[in-house]
Amino acid sequence: MYCPFCRHSDSRVIDSRTSDDGLSIRRRRQCPECGGRFSTTETASLSVTKRSGVTEPFSREKVVLGVKKACQGRPVTDSDLALLAQTVEETIRSTGASQIEANDIGLAILPPLRDLDEVAYLRFASVYQAFESLDDFETAIEQLRAVHGRLPARPVE
């Protein structure tokens, strides 16, 4: 890490702290040459291998883009989607993996999307899990109903 003031090629870490979301580490550094202090942020790399074999860095923006289509016309806001993408990243990072398949992202999207909007969930699942017939939709809807059955009944308004 070059010193941003004098370009000295070495620096000393004087403090480290983990960010609130636990996804990155912020370090205070000091240059032994000029004494200048600066901060760096380190994030563990997380790469995604696509079906084509191409590897690219994980991107929350791509998660949002992937889900947005399924949410068209649904009462889902941009901040809902940003939160969903954050949940997906935290879920994947919590496994400790540094390299995942694109498929794993789809799997991590399904549970939070189901909680967010069931219609969007069905749309996304139908594409992601390649539903082929009405039976596939019926099975997915039955699974949703089963989840509802386990939840406490909502109070009648």
Q: Which residues bind Zn ion (CB under 5 A)?
A: 3, 5-6, 8, 31, 33-34, 36
Would you say 6 or 14 has its CB closer to Zn ion? 6
Would you say 8 or 74 has its CB closer to Zn ion? 8
- Spatial distance between the Cα atoms of 106 and 120, rounded to a whole number of angstroms: 13
Rounded to a whole number of angstroms, the minimum distance from the CB of residue 111 to Zn ion is: 48
Would you say 39 or 52 has its CB closer to Zn ion? 39
Rounded to a whole number of angstroms, the minimum distance from the CB of residue 10 to Zn ion is: 9
Q: Are 77 and 83 in contact (CB under 8 A)?
A: no
Rounded to a whole number of angstroms, the minimum distance from the CB of residue 13 to Zn ion is: 14
- Spatial distance between the Cα atoms of 113 and 136, rounded to a whole number of angstroms: 18
Q: Are 85 and 64 in contact (CB under 8 A)?
A: yes
Q: Are 99 and 49 in contact (CB under 8 A)?
A: yes
Instruction: Output the CA–CA distances (angstroms, integers) from residue 62 to 26, 49, 155, in the order listed.
Output: 25, 14, 37
Rounded to a whole number of angstroms, the minimum distance from the CB of residue 26 to Zn ion is: 19
Would you say 6 or 141 has its CB closer to Zn ion? 6
